[in-house]
Amino acid sequence: MGERNRIQYTVLILKGMAMGAADVVPGVSGGTIAFISGIYEELITSINNINLSLFRTWRNEGFMAFWRQLNGGFLLALFSGIFISVASLAKMISWLLENQPILLWSFFFGLVLASVLVVARAIERWTLAKILFLIAGAALAWYITSLPPIEDTTSLPFLFLSGALAICAMILPGISGAFILVLLGSYKTVLDAVHERELGLIVTVGIGAVFGLLSFARILKWMFSNYKDLTLTLLTGFILGSLNKIWPWKEVLETKVYGEKVVAIAEQNVSPFSFSGDNQLLFAIVLAILGFSLIFILEKLAARN
């Protein structure tokens, strides 16, 4: 976590933007992007540094010592990228989800599938215990992504809880924070709040997210410090199981009307050849390959840096 130059900080902002774009999509985790781009453990460690001793450092040694202990340049660049991406891409992602879902999901399916291989390669030696952790993680993620969503809500205490749970998922590779919001019935409320700049709702979710982030980062830091390989195995399982949610071809079982919009709330995966309508198979394959390749390009860039 040494000093960085301007180019490295620019790269960090771009990685943050990639994380933000992934987090907007229900089913894709920004934590996965952080992991394959080589910044995951630094992110967890930096968040874990936020505690009372940090503010004692500021009082006793000054702001610069506080900033170094926080790894503030790293966090500022990364979260700036996430904010830019969420603020600028939320409307476009919403449009793509509504108008080109197969192509969008195909790109992310390839991206997440490649992420499974990247994370699995970081595990030093496979044992029976690690295989069991992999299966458990995949089964848990598959189960979570199969749950039906609950009714949409604008209750502020519930939105606080939604923010806390969603941010935990956002920094956990394989489980999507946006999908957690869908399950909790808060996704449309939060997305609309971002579109319409409803500061009260945004601040409530944000405070919940800060609470969840600071709490969950300590658990992850402990797991990486004491059981790194088992943690990586579990995360690989999470990513593998999440593929259930982002399979591009789905049959809608139940819908719900939000104003003028009709939203699918219950779906099942189908083969592209039994999909009713244009399966866009050729373009879907091309975008899946593009997403798959992008992960390995990002991995090489991360290794070079």
Three-state secondary structure string covering the chain: CCCCCHHHHHHHHHHHHHHHHHHHCCCCCHHHHHHHCCCHHHHHHHHHCCCHHHHHHHHHHCHHHHHHHHCHHHHHHHHHHHHHHHHHHHHHHHHHHHHCHHHHHHHHHHHHHHHHHHHHHCCCCCCHHHHHHHHHHHHHHHHHHHCCCCCCCCCHHHHHHHHHHHHHHHCCCCCCHHHHHHHHCCHHHHHHHHHHCCHHHHHHHHHHHHHHHHHHHHHHHHHHHHCHHHHHHHHHHHHHHHCCCCCCCEEEEEEEEECCEEEEEEEEECCCCCCCCCCCHHHHHHHHHHHHHHHHHHHHHHHHC
pTM: 0.70
**pLDDT < 50: residue spans in the chain:** 259
pLDDT tens digit sequence for 115-130: 788 778 878 888 898 8
C-alpha to C-alpha distances, 156 to 116, 162, 166, nearest whole angstrom: 36, 10, 15
- Please give the backbone phi and psi of residue 260, each rounded to the nearest 5 degrees, phi first: -95, 0
The pLDDT, as a whole number, for residue 216 is 81
The pLDDT, as a whole number, for residue 289 is 93
The DSSP symbol for 148 reads P
The pLDDT, as a whole number, for residue 47 is 85
Q: Which run of H or E residues covers position 93?
A: helix 72-99
The pLDDT, as a whole number, for residue 135 is 93
The pLDDT, as a whole number, for residue 165 is 82
The pLDDT, as a whole number, for residue 285 is 94
The pLDDT, as a whole number, for residue 174 is 63
The pLDDT, as a whole number, for residue 104 is 86
